[in-house]
Amino acid sequence: MKILDSVTGFITRNKKRSFEELSDWMLAVLGVVAFLVAGYWGLMLSEAVPGFIKETNQTGISLPAVGLGLLLGGFGLSVWFFGCIAARCHTLLYERWFK
């Protein structure tokens, strides 16, 4: 347990920083990476979800369909999460550079 405590203490020793405290370059890099991740998974879900819905409508809801629905929902949450990060970085950079 002491090893775990020392590892968590080492990881959390730095003060947490908010988006407002980051430099313009860090916001730009973070926003681009978040946008690319959200865009990639969004495109993958846009191809997979319609087929999933069509197949579920034909065969009905089963246990594997529920599991696949939860998996696709989890990917949808990751698209939302990374999209929100990209939007926040965009908003901060827009306020700093264009207002």
Closest CA to 52 of 76, 84, 82: 76
More confident residue, 81 or 13: 81
Token pair of 77 as six digits: 């949450």
Task: Name the pTM for this structure.
Answer: 0.77
* pLDDT per residue as tens digits for the range 70-87: 999 999 999 999 999 999
Residue 49 confidence class, pLDDT cut points 50, 70, 90: very high
